[in-house]
Structure 1
Amino acid sequence: MGQHFEYLKDLLEKGTLLLAGPCLDRTMGITVFKAESIEEARAIMENDPAVKLGVMSAELHEYRAALFAGQK
């Protein structure tokens, strides 16, 4: 899980990661990041060390923000 956290920190530093964290009931976590294509998004997801090592599974869902704080 340390490698997973470092991977996410690297994505954050690069401006790719928007938010990430576990659900409080520990059933899953959510990661939201920017990608130019579904292929790029899949590569980001599949290159997470925890996913590559089978420590966790991942699902990819395309998402577009419609409303967010600070938006006018």
Structure 2
Amino acid sequence: MPWFVKIEEGIVDKPTFDKSVPAHKAYIQDLIAKGHQARSGYWIQKRGGMMLFEASSMEEAQAIVAQDPLVQNGCVKYELYEWRVVVQ
């Protein structure tokens, strides 16, 4: 299955963002349980973070990202890329 990367930048203040973090973590756990190999984290040096996951197509990846609580609650702007693994 192809890998996808959502690169995101926070666009709300930290207290507002933090309200969506528990739901985002639960969402990632659900993606893992469904076999998407999802990982999510944030940048130490700047606002924002990244989510890495597997999906069958760009269309499925877009649908997955659209369900992320950080996206649904307007906490981030993002770009979505298909990532080709060269070395495993």
TM-score, shorter chain, exceeding 0.5 = yes
Q: TM-score range by the shorter chain?
A: 0.7 to 0.9
Q: TM-score, normalised by structure 1?
A: 0.81
Question: Where do 5+ consecutive residues of structure 2 fail to align?
Answer: 1-20
From 28, 39, 42, the equivalent of 2:62 is: 42
Question: Where do 5+ consecutive residues of structure 1 fail to align?
Answer: none
Structure 1 vs Structure 2: percent identity of aligned residues?
Answer: 35
Bigger fraction of residues in strand: 2
Q: Secondary structure at the match of 1:58?
A: strand
Could you tell me how far apart the structure 1 residues matched to 2:68 and 2:47 are? Answer: 18
Q: Secondary structure at the match of 1:54?
A: coil
RMSD: 1.4
CA contact (8 A) 2:71 2:77 kept: yes
Displacement of 1:26 after TM fit? 4.1
Could you tell me how far apart the structure 2 residues matched to 1:14 and 1:26 are? Answer: 31
Displacement of 1:55 after TM fit? 1.3
CA contact (8 A) 1:45 1:58 kept: no
Could you tell me how far apart the structure 2 residues matched to 1:61 and 1:19 are? Answer: 15
Runs (4+) of structure 1 exceeding 4 A deviation are none
**More relative contact order, 1 or 2 (CA 8 Å, 6+ apart):** 2
After TM superposition, the structure 1 stretch with the greater mean CA deviation from structure 2, 11-20 or 59-68, is: 11-20
After TM superposition, the structure 1 stretch with the greater mean CA deviation from structure 2, 29-38 or 13-22, is: 13-22
Q: Does 1:59 align with 2:83?
A: no
From 20, 24, 49, the equivalent of 2:40 is: 20
